[in-house]
Structure 1
């Protein structure tokens, strides 16, 4: 062995030893953090047997701090994901978080739930969005995750209708998921004879142009979820499914084509619903629903206080009211927390100009 190769070998061995030592240090620190989490749980239970362990505002602040302190080479998002999993595992030592989501297993909603709560959460599938609300209201799960809007297809009306029918639930958080659709088949599929394609109605719409170009004569069948589409394909030789990575893995399907969505930046926003109010985190958003009287200028009157108090609105959607013809309710998102003085002032004025105004929740702006 030459002196040069010997020097390289010694350098590699030294680096490997350094990595081994860092791994040991990281392991010790994670274990110490986990023990602290257990102590936190003990203190909380001593003070209040019904204590809430998951604190959305606290976790948002921790993840933001991690991203602020990070100086690479890992990206801020990747570093935050690592800490998200550490926090999820530590929280499970205090109390495993049960999270209802729109099932079956393998949906984008399950993926969003795990992105927000981490891999140690206990996901609970339901058959419909309103069932997610019922599970949380009944206390069967701690939280729920529901889709609220897609960047290309717009609002998810079932979610807004469920908020209108739910008197007690609050929005506790949000998570945005980049949506990639794939055309999936099973080992039984005859690829040259595909005559039926299953998917959720929104996914079919998000892939309309690609389907027109590649499968113009195939029947497009809307089902309750992309995961259900993937499940159906397992038993049919002439069908395919449009679904994502989680469904492909869960149902052991093969990708015929990847990322077939018409819009490359396609994403869906999901809301976290719970039973508690969330204190300010420092970077928050508030959602409200307002029922308007049927009179000229009603919408202008509703929005004017927010403009005057300098509050930035991020979303405005309308839905027909179930309480009378030609009446509407408006769903509004804006920056700021309900405890902020200017938000309080704007809400007080707006409530005087509506038939009814309900704050759905103030919650941290999505970090991941």
Structure 2
């Protein structure tokens, strides 16, 4: 290395050290501001259960970061960095407990950490209804549950839980799903006679498995993380799971990204106990039951067309009581505080057997 190169690198490293100190000072100042916000809220509401996390506020901040980011880091990457800063600042007062469909290492946990950052307390639970109960009881501040996969469609269990649960949808997060075939390093030289995975993962990798692992027994288990745990212990077995599960159980990836569709994405919902104010770019979800009569679906959808609201999802579910002919789960753009949304819901309410507002929430930023 030449002396000129050494001198130039030395200058750049000194500059990086100076910038790092400035970044540290500014992050500390931001944390102090967050602490002051918490103190103001607690003084204004003594003895009450104060919510420090505001979904609409964080969505606004992250959108502004992405829009004003000067580069060279991408807007998405810059927003992820700020997501972690906000998560750490929020945890100074009271780390949030986030329930999710477990066990540890599932894609749902990855979605929870993507949305809330890594400074939360992750609470794995064995079933979707258990996540709802944990949040309803107040044992967890929020819950994260899968609701829709771009390949396999809606998660019906999640939709059905909203029929009886008082919880609100407070947010959404989308996660690109990459499935890997993985084995334990100590068993990697052995012939694979069995593959473990969740039924959804098998469905999303069906073509790859039929082409590359045809004839090998496929055993469905409760989660991809459980599949990884079994593959770590049992010789002659492999698992289909994601990066978190591979890292957690020390598995080696034999084949990466084996999903049949490269754009395979799962949408997750954030569930909580309070309603979320408007953030400026929102989505709303409702459940509607209609009478069994000709034109019922037209009567339900016509107000959306008349008032110019865009539907993003409509799904039909059977009524648990058996008295309703149709139960529709509908996602659409807008917030209940918007005038057009208020008019649409009012018109639907006149014709529906029952209208249940599941919540208005920021459209996913990350």
TM-score (norm 1): 0.97
Whether the aligned pair in 2 keeps the contact of 1:188 and 1:236 (CA below 8 Å) is: no
Query: 1:110: which partner in 2?
Result: 109
Query: 2:12: which partner in 1?
Result: 15
Query: 1:151: which partner in 2?
Result: 150
Cα RMSD (Å) of the superposition? 1.3
Which digits, 9 at most, give the CA deviation of each residue in 1:103-133, with x for residues without a partner?
Answer: 0000000000000000101110000001000
- In 2, Cα distance between the equivalents of 1:10 and 1:206? 54
Query: 1:308: which partner in 2?
Result: 306
- In 2, Cα distance between the equivalents of 1:60 and 1:278? 11
Which digits, 9 at most, give the CA deviation of each residue in 1:343-364, with x for residues without a partner?
Answer: 0000000111111111100000
- In 2, Cα distance between the equivalents of 1:19 and 1:113? 32
Query: 1:59: which partner in 2?
Result: 58
Query: 1:30: which partner in 2?
Result: 27
Which digits, 9 at most, give the CA deviation of each residue in 1:128-151, with x for residues without a partner?
Answer: 001000000010100000000000
How far off is 1:196 after superposition? 1.5
- In 2, Cα distance between the equivalents of 1:229 and 1:15? 47
How far off is 1:236 after superposition? 1.2
- In 2, Cα distance between the equivalents of 1:57 and 1:280? 6
Matches within 5 A, 1:106-185: 106-166=105-165, 168-185=166-183
Which digits, 9 at most, give the CA deviation of each residue in 1:165-197, with x for residues without a partner?
Answer: 21x100000000000000011134365521211
TM-score (norm 2): 0.97
- In 2, Cα distance between the equivalents of 1:203 and 1:313? 28
How far off is 1:8 after superposition? 3.2
Whether the aligned pair in 1 keeps the contact of 2:144 and 2:270 (CA below 8 Å) is: yes
Matched, 1:366 2:364: yes
Whether the aligned pair in 1 keeps the contact of 2:190 and 2:235 (CA below 8 Å) is: no
Unaligned ranges ≥5, structure 1: none
Query: Displaced runs of 4+ in structure 1, greater than 6 A?
Result: none
Given candidates 272, 275, 290, the residue that maps to 1:274 is 272
Unaligned ranges ≥5, structure 2: none
Query: 1:39: which partner in 2?
Result: 36
Whether the aligned pair in 2 keeps the contact of 1:292 and 1:329 (CA below 8 Å) is: yes
Aligned residues: 364
- In 2, Cα distance between the equivalents of 1:190 and 1:83? 40
